Amino acid sequence: MTITPSLSQVENVSKYKAPFFTGTDYPYWKTRMTWFTDIVNGLEALGKTYKESEKVMKILRSLPSKWHTKVTAIQEAKT
């Protein structure tokens, strides 16, 4: 299952470094979340299921190192 974003969704977006979460980067992050959801749904169709907490951890692990303190705070708040 291949998803090709429209040009307006990836315009001015680096292929190597994700933009930060700001109001101007909504199309980029919407596209990424759509890809993530499609991958997870495809795996579930094949019999592999993920708990909600596993999905959250995958997203947290994908964040840049600059977000490490926020990720740590989220993980500690969970316990």
**pLDDT at 76 > cutoff 60:** yes
> Measured in whole angstroms, how far is the alpha carbon of residue 69 from the centre of its chain?
18
* Structural domain spans, the chain: 24-78
pLDDT tens track for 32-75: 888 888 888 888 888 888 888 888 888 888 888 888 898 899 88
pTM: 0.49
Report the chain's C-alpha Rg in angstroms. Answer: 14
Residue at 3: amino acid letter: I
